[in-house]
Amino acid sequence: MPAIEANGLTKIFGRRPQRGVKLLKEGADRARLRREGLTPAVIDATFEVAPGEIFVVMGLSGSGKSTLIRMVNGLLEPTDGVMRIDGQDVTHLSAAGLREVRRTKVSMVFQHFALLPHRTVGENAAYPLKLRGVNKAEREARAEEALALVGLKGWGGSLPSELSGGMRQRVGLARALAAGTDIMLMDEAFSALDPLIRKEMQDQLLELQAELGKTILFITHDLNEAMRLGDRIAMMRDGRVVQVGTSEQILNEPANDYVAQFVADVDRSRVLSAGDVMERPVAVIGPESGPKAAHKLMREHQVSSLLVTGRNRKVSGVVFENDVADAVRQGSDRLPLSGEPVAQVSPDTPLAELFHDAAVSRAPLAVVAEDGRLQGVIPRVTLLSALSVPATDSADTAADGEDPADGEPVLDAAGAK
């Protein structure tokens, strides 16, 4: 069951907003509604956020992000459509019902977090618990735990004025964590921070997420932030969700020209990772194979090197064309393994971190799973082309979600020799 589910969610500001819904359903555009004195802030938004997912809503100022998040936590009532939290329809809840949802399910972190200046950091973090009537001892324990999670261990007794801006924003995060809800809504939560502190907070959020598995709906107008944080991203324009996808899908398969232009300047080397661009490891040979088989495979795939893998698909080395040709000429039946190490990287490694290895290594980079099994390869040319033209083939490989190594012609002693 999705943690958050929006179905046809629409919010129109102005008098008699239902008129706007009707007009929209009749095909009217925003300008038409504006002439009627209506502002369609969110139009027909439909998406699901899975439990444990970081779902980023991304769009320029005025695209409707804040309105959308305010409907999720019940600060605004939708004009049309349905919003469900953990399967419960919260679209038209009473004030008491909404309070209950906020108390138990959803907490929120804002851009400018209003800390109570005369209360300690610990009391600030524990504030929502106080409102809920949680007893003092438990409040303090939970606040302390939450402060430790955001790197503010030992600061509970200080006043907000003693903290830097970044630290205050951490208190906001701690407050949401102390509340103990499974869903956290973050509205431009890091946008007011200096770039370096902002990056630190993003890292921390990713760490916390890995540890706690919260469902996070994160709003930002910063594409790089969206791409860094989001498991998936919803791109909004003029109140509509124009695309929902992983950062890799948004980069390589933009739904329209607007999205394509938007992502044109993204630093692809930081957004795409090895797993996104790797190719099927076809140029791979088993250790028992001989030089003739290696030579044949190289010709077939027009490559100048082959990775050598054992039966467990672990990479044991590399052979190069010249050495293989020599071995064939000399009638040798042993693969002429090169002494060169093969760079092995995890599928999560950003492309930016692959350049050094790619530059110093003649062999393609080996992308290996945690258990060391070969998942794919990245020849230098693939790395370079991934940075410019959308890498459609490799994107398909990654999107399939299958083990690209399976079913490939890995030759060994029993194979074509």
DSSP letters, 21-73, are: HHHHHTT--HHHHHHTT-EEEEEEEEEEE-TT-EEEEEE-TTSSHHHHHHHHT
Q: Are 243 and 255 in contact, with CB atoms under 8 Å apart? A: yes
Half-sphere exposure of 273 (CA within 13 A, CB side): 15
Half-sphere exposure of 147 (CA within 13 A, CB side): 24
Nearer to ligand ATP, 67 or 202 (CB): 67
We find the least distance from the C-beta atom of residue 88 to ligand ATP, in angstroms, to be: 24
Cα 49 off chain centre by = 13
We find the least distance from the C-beta atom of residue 138 to ligand ATP, in angstroms, to be: 36
Give the pairing type, strands 183-187 and 315-320: unpaired
CA dihedral 69, 72, 74, 78 (to 10 degrees): 90
We find the least distance from the C-beta atom of residue 156 to ligand ATP, in angstroms, to be: 32
Q: In what order do the strands lie in the sheet with 232-237?
A: 106-109, 183-187, 215-220, 54-59, 232-237, 240-245
From the CB of residue 16, how many other CB atoms can be counted at a distance below 10 Å?
A: 11
Distance CA 52, CA 287 (A): 42
Q: How is residue 406 written in tokens? A: 């399976």
Distance CA 173, CA 108 (A): 9
We find the least distance from the C-beta atom of residue 11 to ligand ATP, in angstroms, to be: 8
Binding footprint of ligand ATP on the chain (CB under 6 A) = 13, 39, 41, 59, 61-67, 221
Nearer to ligand ATP, 226 or 307 (CB): 226
Nearer to ligand ATP, 198 or 313 (CB): 198
We find the least distance from the C-beta atom of residue 220 to ligand ATP, in angstroms, to be: 9
Nearer to ligand ATP, 70 or 142 (CB): 70
Nearer to ligand ATP, 128 or 239 (CB): 239
We find the least distance from the C-beta atom of residue 219 to ligand ATP, in angstroms, to be: 7
Q: In what order do the strands lie in the sheet with 374-378?
A: 344-345, 365-368, 374-378
Q: Which segments of 133-292 are extended strands (E)? A: 183-187, 215-220, 232-237, 240-245, 284-285
Distance CA 190, CA 287 (A): 51
We find the least distance from the C-beta atom of residue 64 to ligand ATP, in angstroms, to be: 4
We find the least distance from the C-beta atom of residue 63 to ligand ATP, in angstroms, to be: 4
Residue 156 makes CB contacts below 8 A (sequence gap 6+) with 120, 121, 122, 125, 140, 143, 144, 147
Give the pairing type, strands 106-109 and 88-89: unpaired
* Residue 328, Cβ density class (10 Å: 0-12 exposed, 13-18 middle, ≥19 buried): middle
We find the least distance from the C-beta atom of residue 243 to ligand ATP, in angstroms, to be: 16
We find the least distance from the C-beta atom of residue 112 to ligand ATP, in angstroms, to be: 12
